[in-house]
Structure 1
Amino acid sequence: MVFTRTTGRRRRGLVIGIDIGGTKVAGGVVAPNGRVLARVRTETPDRSKSPEVVEDTIVGVVEQLRRGHRVRAVGVGAAGFVDERRANVLFAPHLSWRNEPLREALQDRLGLPVVVENDANAAAWAETRLGAGRGVRDVVVVNLGTGIGGSIVIDGVLRRGRYGLAGEFGHMVVVPRGRRCECGNRGCWEQYASGNALTREARELAAAQSPMASRLLEAADGDPARITGPLVTALAREGDRTCVELLEDMGAWLGAGLANLAAAFDPELFVIGGGVCEADDLLLGPARTHFRRALTGRGHRPEARIVRAALGNEAGLIGAADLARLVPPYRGSRSPGEAVRSRFFLRSPGPRPHRSGMRAGDRL
């Protein structure tokens, strides 16, 4: 477990954000302006471990972070399906959670209000409130990682859907009878525009002994299995034409999918996050070009901007903390997640004020 702290005076109004992924649990003490004052990072327990082991890991991170800080709540961003009450993790592919009452379990042990949120929703909230989408009311965030996740913010409201499961953009079918996806369907978007897709294409080219992949193979010591997305990006930055083309192909698929999302949601802004975005305009340039080509009504309608996310790997924990900040003071016998439903009007720190989160009567 790695612990780092930003020195400074003791502050009030602090919230702990936790971001749980397939390989790491990252936590931070987050100030209202989004600044992370202290950090802890540790490995995620193997998915064969019981839910209690994962819970112990989260509690350990929180207890370490709250020393020396007056913390009022905890937000947890989890890679999985979170119910509409933001209380139970219905399914987490990389963990042992199956309909796990995580909020209740953590509140009992920590004595603090806890909000559980899907990790992509948490990252999107951070980018909308404090990052690349700051001050924009209608934003769609797309995270390119192992797969593709995403979130929708319309009129300043994070839209989770009736059952809390909105934003699974990666499983839109873009190629009928296309590549088989882990979800069981064929032709899902993430099979063509994710980090896994980029790595797969590069490895297949190298395994075929194509002369075009000679630089890739050399950089991977002759082993296609050692080719990674970051390696492709690094070689593309150095000017390797094959790697540039691989990113262009991925960008084309990304742009086509964004055009579909524009037809559905008509956002002002797309924010593209995830590790693949280290390629920057090598990826986003082709995405913008193909977005314009595929956009319904192109040439006769306003066009959404496509920008890179601003908060990097800490967006998830910052967003989880900011969502938890909306929970009223804990009174032990109350249900914090339920109590916040009717009191959610928060001014954006951006250039123009707007209501964030939800309106009165919206489901938390």
Structure 2
Amino acid sequence: MRHVIALDVGGTWMKAALLGDDSASAPGTAPVLLHRERRATGRERGPEAVVAEILDFAAGLAAHGAAHLGGPALAAGVAVPGIVDESGGRAVYSANLGWRDVPLRDLLAERLGVPVALGHDVRTGGLAEGRIGAGKGADRFLFVPLGTGIAGAIGIGGGVEAGAHGFAGEIGHIVVRPGGADCPCGQRGCLERYA
């Protein structure tokens, strides 16, 4: 079956799925969930280990699809936390994972041999929520999932705002206690240290 790889990288866990296209039998329908997995991100081993874990996880998903779904995936979509340069395909910075300027889209495309889209985890979730979830039909909404980090997606007019430097919605790094606990982002007293 025709399918794609969807991978969400979090500060603690990675969640993934293989999604099929059943539009031939029912045009306009949502993708079909064919397989899902979850794996620890492994951030305690450092940023290089996290990148290696992402690449290995994606390759394992591709192998599963090829073996059980009759062929290779057509593409992959990967969502990561922190500051993301979506057009350049780079994971610019993540306080929770410790990486800086990782060319993740190219690394994954090379490993998988298929086109890869890279996005910010919360903005990607917010976009989905705006298209098929609670924000559907709303001109403006705020999507705030809570996980290892705290971020929000600002939905405006059918899209999600990235901000001038890709930092829109990173509310976990608002200083709520000046001079408070150290944060991996380099500031002190960030919301994520206390929430």
TM-score tier by shorter-chain length is 0.7 to 0.9
Q: Give the aligned CA root-mean-square deviation in angstroms.
A: 2.6
In structure 1, what is the equivalent of residue 37 of structure 2? 40
Higher strand share: 2
The code of the aligned residue for 1:15 comes to V
In structure 1, what is the equivalent of residue 56 of structure 2? 56
List runs of 5+ in structure 2 lacking aligned partners: 21-28
1:191 shift after superposition: 4.7
Number of residue pairs matched by the alignment: 181
- Pairs within 5 Å for 1:1-364: 10=1, 12=2, 14-31=3-20, 33-46=30-43, 47-48=45-46, 49-50=48-49, 51-67=51-67, 68=69, 71-85=73-87, 87-95=89-97, 97-174=99-176, 177=178, 179-180=180-181, 182=183, 183-191=185-193, 197=195
The code of the aligned residue for 1:43 comes to A
Higher helix share: 1
**Cα distance in 1 between the residues matched to 2:151 and 2:102:** 21
Sort the Cα spacing of 1:38 and 1:91 in 2 relative to 1 into closer, same or farther, 3 A: same
The code of the aligned residue for 1:16 comes to I
The code of the aligned residue for 1:36 comes to L
Higher RCO (CA-CA < 8 Å; seq separation 6+): 1
Segments of 4+ moved more than 4 angstroms: none
The code of the aligned residue for 2:78 comes to V
TM-score (norm 2): 0.77
Identity %: 38
TM-score (norm 1): 0.44
The code of the aligned residue for 2:170 comes to E
Judge which range, 160-169 or 40-49, deviates more.
40-49
1:57 shift after superposition: 2.8
1:82 shift after superposition: 1.1
1:189 shift after superposition: 3.7
Judge which range, 73-82 or 141-150, deviates more.
141-150
Residues 58 and 112, structure 2, Cα contact 8 Å, conserved in 1: no
1:152 shift after superposition: 1.3
